[in-house]
Every structure is written in C-alpha cells, then in structure tokens.
A and B are shown apart, each in its own frame.
Chain A
Amino acid sequence: MTDRTYGVLLVSFSRHSHQSSFVPAFVDHPRIRIVGVADDADIDPYLKPLNRSWAERLDVPCHEGIEAAVRRAEVDIVSIGHEIERRSEIARLAAGAGKHLWIDKYIGANMPECRAVVDAVERSGVTTILPSYIYNDLINQSKRMIDTGFLGELTAMHVDILFGKGIPRPISKEQRKPGFLPAGRWKFPDIKREILTVGAYAVALVQQCFDPIVEVYGQGGAHFFPEHAAHGADDFGTLSLVDRSGRVATISAGRNGIASHGAGGPNQAFLFGTKGTGRVDGKRPGIDTHLRNRIVDGDYSVDSDDPMQWHSGPPTLLTSTGLEFTRAALDDLVHALDTGGRPRFTVHDARDHMEVLLAGYESIVREQPVRLPLRGEEAA
C-alpha cells in the first residue's frame, strides 16, 4: 500500500458542470492534492473570472491552455468539468498524456466522441472514473436489496428522479416551439436538457442492476418551464428500457419546480422481483425536519443569476444522513490507482450509458422504440 499523493488538475468550472461540488472532496481527501485550474483561452466571458477566482481560493495556478497544463509533471489526474461538447477532446488529450481521468457525467456529446474516448483510454491504459452516478444511496441500497435474494429474480424496475428546482410558470401556445428538439444540441444559456441531466442518474441505476439495454422508448413534450417549451427541449421525460434478458425498466425524470416535494424531489426506485417488490428512497436515511421558522420564513425565491437552480439546492424538509457520494467515488479511484484495479463506473460504462440516453431522444423524435446499438445517424 503506497501513501503517495495524487495531483489533480481542475479543467474548467463551467456552470454546466459539477466541478465546484467536487472541490470539497478533493480538498479533504488525504491522498489528493489540487495542483491547478486550467481552461481554454477562448471561453464564455463569465467563465474566465470564475476559473481565476477558484484558483485564487484554492491557492493554485490558473493555466490558460489546457494541453500544456495537462502535460505538467505534477498532474496525475485530470478532473474534467468542461462543457459536454469539449469533454471528449480533453479526455483524449489527457489520456494520451498518460493522465488518469475524473470526468463529470458525460464523456462526449455523441457516440463517435464517446467511442473515441474509450479507444484512447484503452490505448493509454489510464484509470478512469465518472463519479456522479453510482456512489449514492439509491444505488447502494438498491444493490443491497437485490443481493439479499428476498426479491427473487429481478424482473423489472421503476425509478422516479426529479429535481424540485426552478419556478415553473404557465406556458402559452405561442411560447411553445412545435416538435421535439433532437439530441445533439445540449448547451443553452438558460436550460439543460433534463432527460440527459436528471434521467442520466436513473439510467445509471438500471445499468448497474440489468444486463445491457437493447431497446429504449422515450416520451417528452409536456413542460413545466416556458424556457424549455420555447426550445422544444425536455424539462421532463420518461424512458422505458428493455435489457438483453427481457427485463423492463421505466423511468420518470426531470426538473419540476421548487417546493413540489418535501425532500426536494423524489429519488426512488421500485425493484420488482419474482418473490417480492422492493422500494428504495434514495433521500433516506434522513431526519424529517419540520422547523417552524424555516417553513414560515422559508425563502422559496430563486436567484435571478441561477433561475434553474443549477448551483443551489431547494429548501427541504428532510435532512439527509446518507453518505457523501463524491468522497466514496474518490476513495474508489484512489484504491484503483493504488492497486491497478478498476473503478465501479468507467468510460466504458459511460459510453453505454450515453447510448441509452441518445436512444431515448431518438425514440421521442421518432415516436417509436429504438433498438441498440445505435447505428449511423442515430449515434451522431
């Protein structure tokens, strides 16, 4: 067992990423040391000062130009929190330089990009992890429940994951863009594609419990937010997945507005087995917190700089006492680096994961189930 410390380079604090929420775990971990912040020279105007302020706060250098920063000797791990459209290229660059990869949620914006990352990683032999999906209590409890054998053979699943964030408002006919925006355009100043953003957690849970997915049926088109309706994009959607063994999973996911749920949005799974049905609440264990002052004086207003609450949590009546997933993921990565093992969710899983999500979007557009693997234009 080695005690060496691993240097982490933080590539971008894009507001579409979770880089800022990874920082506390990096700072606290005894085997990790943040060694710098880096980004491209040509980035959104808001981002340059943000990157710089994080570098100052962490007392590390802020590099302009990712390629040179990645190659620095003190960098062992590259934490990629750039826009989704840049992740594949940065991941390939870092893997090519022999650096291990910590990637926020997606390894590319389409299947060719995702496959290219997997190829680059296989060539270089670096260790990779996507920390956001499977180190949480919803997955841990679900897997534990399946492992007890009490449910018999797992036949099906259902997952509800919603973010109780933002302020939904009435939507007029004129505000709605007809049709459904296909996959491929992910970045907007005012919205995120929520099947991609929120549904991704549910898909990862299914992936962990099922065989590879072979069919996807998606539905969208109902809206909470005028912003999403104006783009014809998804703030909410459903997915139905069938795996290679014929097992069926159903998912509801999206962003449905502040104060719509006591715990800030449901995060739950049903596990249907031949001998029983399990029900897991990913927000628990927790403490029900009904404190008069917090409720009566509760501030449910939304910051105009962050209207969809990408970087703030909703008020909640539940204080979670579950584990902090980033620390668990970081422990897994460090253990893999020490032992030459494999983290629980790597770029290989992320490639398959993105394929399911893209199939969901394709299915919504076509109004038909889509078979996997995606081919040709479906994957682009």
Chain B
Amino acid sequence: MRAIDGLVIGGPRDFDRFREDLEGQDGLVFAGTSGGSRTGARGGADADGDGAAVEPLSDAIEKYRPRNALVLSPYRGMSTDVARLMENGVDVRTAGPLPASSRVRRPPITETHRSDPGFSAMLEASRHADFGDPVYLRLVSSPEGGKWQRWWCVFQMCRKAAALLDTPLRRVYVAAAGNAPRLHVSITLKTVRNSTGHLLVAPSGAGLQDDLFFLGTGGTLSDDPLLNQPGMYGQMNYHMLSRPARRRLADLWRDDAVVSMTGDEQRFYQDLLRAIGDSCRSGRGVCLEYPGA
C-alpha cells in the first residue's frame, strides 16, 4: 500500500481545476465521484511518479490510509464515507454541508474560492478605494451533477458573495426551474447594507465557471471566462482551451478557508436546499431570511 498524506474526492471538473497542483505531489491521490476511473488522464502523481489517472473512489478509501481528506463534490454514499474516515482519525473537510438527514459528526467546511487566484485579485480590486462601495454582484456557474451538487455550488457562491460584498447576507429569494440534473437555480440576495446580487447556477454549460460582474459606486469589475480562455478555430467549430486554474489545494486547508457557521446558519442552508426543490415543484420563488441579519 502506498503511503499518502491526502485524499481528494471530486468530479472531473474538480480534477481539472487542481490538475496542475496535483502534478508532482506524491502524497496526494485524487478519487473520482463519477464512477469509473479516468484512465489516461494525466494529473496527480501515480505510482511511477509522472502523473496518474483519477482513482476510482470505491478503491481509494480502502486502498490508502490518508491523514486528511477533502471532499470537493458531494456524491451518493458520502456521509458513510465521511463517517468512516473520521472514525479512523482522518482530518476531513468538505466543500459544502452534509444533508440534514445525515447523523454524521459534521466535518469543517472549506471555502473553495480561497484557492482561486482570480478571487484574490477580484477581492483586492474591489477593496480599493476607487471601486467605492459594492452595489451588486452577479455570478454564473454551471457545475456538473444534480441537485445536491448545485446546492453546494450555491453554498459556495453565497460565501463568495458575502466575502466580495464585504457584508453578511440579509435575505435571499430562491427560484429554480427545470428538472435535475438540468436544473437552473437563481438566488437573488440582499445584504445588510442593501447591496444586492444574483447567484445563478446554469443547467448546462461546460466551462462556465464563475462568470462574474461586480458593480461598485466607483465602477465595474468583471471576469468573463469567454475572454479569459484562449480560443481555437477548427475546421468546423470554435473551441475554447480551458485556462490554467493555478489553484492550490493547500489553500483549502488554511484556517481562513474554514467556514464558521452558527446552528441557525447551518439550518439556513438546509432550508435553501429545500427551497430549491419547492420552487421547482411549485413554479414560485421562496424567500428566506438569513439568520442574525
């Protein structure tokens, strides 16, 4: 059995996002949540030390004895795996809440935007006096997976929005449309300082990751994936080359990446999950007050 320090669990896009960082790190294994292994995908270090396929999740937990584990995307059976890992003394972090039905002791949650250099640059620019006061933030992403993955995406977007708007949320209006996995979720938010935002989870759109528009009293900031990714004109089509993510997994283990939530806040996100389902079924939006506002 190979000795490793860390197990990272996620979907194909998570792997792509951290691919560069995984390369050359002998002590890390990436296990895929989407079933079979991605043979031929070169990324994290393999036994030969020159890059490896994504490991099948079913094997990875038994095969390795990691000291820590990071779950970037939710999957069926996650609660059981998390419980087992924690019972074995593994330091577990997740990128979103466990469902309310889960009786597992809840591991710390990490804010994934902390690993994104684009977020750091956006935060720095928005804190400059020239930007003025934040007024409105729009974020669009299209994660892979179904309702649960979209919930985690919304969770991360809410955290990111609060960080960029530099103020806690006050109220959200949740409106969802379509059927999982092709589900659209829109969160209309207001903060305690009256700034507003739209957090949009698109039903479909590979490569659509954090298209961002940020409006301040002093001007606008935007991050447009279409402009920020190199393009290739082929014989029949136009292709975008995904941009190097330059994300570092180590950033997700930093203390400032850990989300500290009250019980009421945890319940808010469970309510938000329910609101997504309710809105889809009823064709009506659902208002939720953010606790402590």
Contact = CB atoms under 8 A, between A and B. Distances in A.
Contacts of A240: 173, 175, 186, 188, 198, 285
A325 interface: no
B135 A270 contact: no
Interface in A184-231: 214-215, 217, 219, 221-222, 224
A248 B177 contact: yes
B288 to A, nearest CB: 12
Given A158-B140, A369-B284, A369-B285, A250 B178 contact: no
A266 interface: yes
A162 B284 contact: no
B204 A274 contact: yes
A86 B13 CA distance: 57
Given A217-B188, A248-B186, A277-B142, A222 B196 contact: yes
Contact of B173 (A162, A168, A369): A369
A160 B213 contact: yes
Interface string B199-223: 0101111001001010101111000
Given A248-B186, A272-B184, A274-B182, A238 B205 contact: no
B204 A277 contact: yes
A156 interface: yes
A250 B186 contact: yes
Interface stretch (A45-53, A252-260, A294-302): A252-260
A156 B188 contact: no
A236 interface: yes
Interface band, chain A:
35 or more
Contact of A238 (B198, B220, B280): B198
A252 B177 contact: no
A335 interface: no
B184 A156 contact: yes
A219 B208 contact: no
Contacts of B173: 217, 240, 369
Contacts of A275: 204
Nearest to A253: B136
A162 B138 CA distance: 13
Contacts of A151: 204
A155 interface: yes
B195 A242 contact: no
A276 B204 contact: yes
Nearest to B136: A252
A257 B216 CA distance: 10
B226 interface: yes
B135 A219 contact: no
A126 B162 CA distance: 53
Interface of B: 132, 135-136, 138, 140, 142, 171, 173, 175-178, 182, 184, 186, 188, 190, 193-196, 198, 200, 202-205, 208, 211, 213, 215, 217-220, 226, 280, 283-285, 287
Interface of A: 151-152, 155-156, 158, 160, 162, 168, 170, 214-215, 217, 219, 221-222, 224, 236-238, 240, 242, 244-248, 250, 252, 256-257, 259-261, 266, 270, 272-277, 279, 367-369
8 contacts: A158-B200, A168-B218, A222-B135, A236-B136, A246-B280, A256-B220, A272-B200, A273-B203
Given A266-B220, A270-B200, 20 more contacts: A151-B204, A152-B182, A215-B285, A217-B173, A219-B188, A219-B190, A221-B194, A240-B188, A245-B283, A246-B283, A252-B138, A252-B196, A259-B219, A260-B215, A260-B220, A266-B213, A270-B140, A272-B204, A277-B204, A369-B173
